[in-house]
Amino acid sequence: MMKKFALIVGFLLISAVAFAQEIDRSLLQGYDAALVIYNRTTGEMVNINPTRANQRLAPCSTFKIYNTLIGLELGLMKDADDPWYKWDEVKRDIEGWNQDLTLREAFKVSAVPAYQILAREIGEAGMKEYIEKIGYGSQDISSGIDIFWLPRPDTTSIKISADEQVALLNKLLDGKLPFSEKNIAILRDIMQAEKTEKGTLYGKTGSGMGA
């Protein structure tokens, strides 16, 4: 049976030399997965399993990238480290969710309850407007304002492919999406996962687990 990967969306600022090194295409062997890497400096792209990369799937928690940006644009959060999510004292399986959280903390632990509240505050009309403006995947949020990005039995979820995710991130970094430089900078800050002398890795995972 093929193993399934958690969806990972991110961007890597790397040197052309590092990118040019041969990528081991056996990395995904045995996994029902795709890997898309785009070099913004050279325009080079590596796409392992293009058929899978073009398949639309529920974005799961990778949608927090745009949920965050929309919330920031609407003034629902001010910056990365201000108090934001007030825990409702409902005990959940993921321990990191069972506390008050700043935006940075909520993004790091992928706090679904916090982002569900944010989606309700944005509202269906506001969310639909931004999703259509940026051209996010299938643009279908009809399954519910606080669950449309999550896979659910017998419900329609918004869907987006890995190829589309990469294209959107490229537009975001080029300033071609309707988000301010200030808010994009906040997003980049909370997305930073690792920094070395070779580059900086930014990303967001999304598996649908614990959601």
- Catalytic residues, by residue number, are 61
What is the residue-wise DSSP string for the chain? --EEPPEEEEEEEE-HHHHHSPP-GGGGTTEE--EEEE-TTT--EEEESHHHHTS-B--GGGGHHHHHHHHHHTTS--SSSSEEE---S---SSGGGSS-EEHHHHHHTT-HHHHHHHHHHHHHHHHHHHHHHHT-TT---TT-TTTTTS--TTS----B-HHHHHHHHHHHHTT-SS--HHHHHHHHHHHEEEEETTEEEEEEEE--TT-
